[in-house]
Amino acid sequence: MSKALALVVVLFFVLFCGKCYGELRVGFYKGKCGLTNVEGVVQNVVETWHFENKEKDIAAALLRMQFHDCFVKGCDASILLDGLTSEKKAVPNSSVRGYGLIDAIKEALEAECQGLVSCADIISMATRDAVVLAGGKWYDVETGRRDGDVSLASNVNLPSATISVSDSIKVFASKNLTQYDMVYLLGGHTVGVARCSLFKDRIYNFNKTGGPDPSMSPWLLAELKDKCPRISLIFDNTYPLDVKTPSLVDNSYFQEIKKGNGVLQIDQQIALDELTKNIVDDTVNDPDFYTKFGEAMVKLGRVEVLIDEQGEVRKSCRVVNKKPFIFGGIN
């Protein structure tokens, strides 16, 4: 081979195969499990659970799961690990659901191609499929993540519902996400509910004033007072985050916060703060919302991932793999 031809070959691999290894890519599992379509297996299980109503509001459950996983030590499925002190036990994660669905997907994949598909990738693929079932638009999911082997409740430090817009932007920036990404990801609140305890102060004692948050519409205030009385025998009621279409992935969430119908403080504030209100204004009737939401989800899925030989591919999403024993106690 001539030096010139060798140089061309090297350049080809640098330019075109530099994305083949060492980072995520669309279609990572293609051809790695015989004729089995890995993403198709995931989609079939999600659709079965959706249509048989085995998990209520699957899109809301998985969107929350992916966000809570990725914002703590990256998208490594550490939120799935069981344990007395695991991330599951952290108070902010007490509302996370969907573990049974992830188990079912993992079981189906292990039956087809043992030890191949990471739990971290399952979360991302299943979330996309659930979003589509809830009315969202299909987006290509990058795969190739590995699973983490550390899960501690003490590591869970998620942005609160009362965080300021400026502080929220800083938190998202620390994950390489822009304020545009932040607004679109908060748009995931187009599905799901929130517990009264997360916004009760907005109803009865906003900023210790003894009164309601003045940015809240009179209609929403009346609604929340009815659903979340000051003194209640019910431990913690819930209320939809999108008061118009709480089970659909659409941009009505943005339309409602523009009317003062944001249930969480941060939801309402992004419609009012100078740093984000123009983004919200543009999103209210944006026909490209679905595409942009998908793009933001893809970026979320890149946060602090483990790749190549980092981490592991768990056999069960709930426990780390057993480490091989080497004589002499050295692993």
Spans of the chain below 50 pLDDT: 1, 5-21, 329-331
Determine the pLDDT at residue 234.
Answer: 67
- 250 annotated ligand-binding residue: yes
Q: What is the pLDDT of residue 322?
A: 86
For residue 10, count CB atoms less than 10 angstroms from its CB and return exposed for 0-12, middle for 13-18, buried for 19 or more.
Answer: exposed
Cβ distance 29 to 145 under 8 Å?
no
Q: Which two tokens stand for residue 95?
A: 């509302």
Give residue 231's pLDDT.
85
Question: Pick the catalytic residue: 68, 73, 128, 292?
Answer: 68
267 is in an annotated binding site: no
Residue 74 annotated in ligand binding:
yes
Cβ within 8 Å of residue 26, ≥6 positions away: 140, 141, 142, 143
Q: Could you state, in order of their start, the residue ranges of all structural domains in the chain?
A: 25-155, 165-297
Residue 68 is a catalytic residue? yes
Quick one: pLDDT at residue 13?
40
308 is in an annotated binding site: no
Domain 25-155 has CATH 1.10.520.10: yes
Fold of 165-297: Peroxidase; domain 2 (1.10.420)
Beta bridge partners of 195: 238
Listed in sequence order, the residues at least 6 apart from 4 whose beta carbon sits closer than 8 Å to its beta carbon are none
pLDDT at position 28 is 97
pLDDT of residue 5: 46
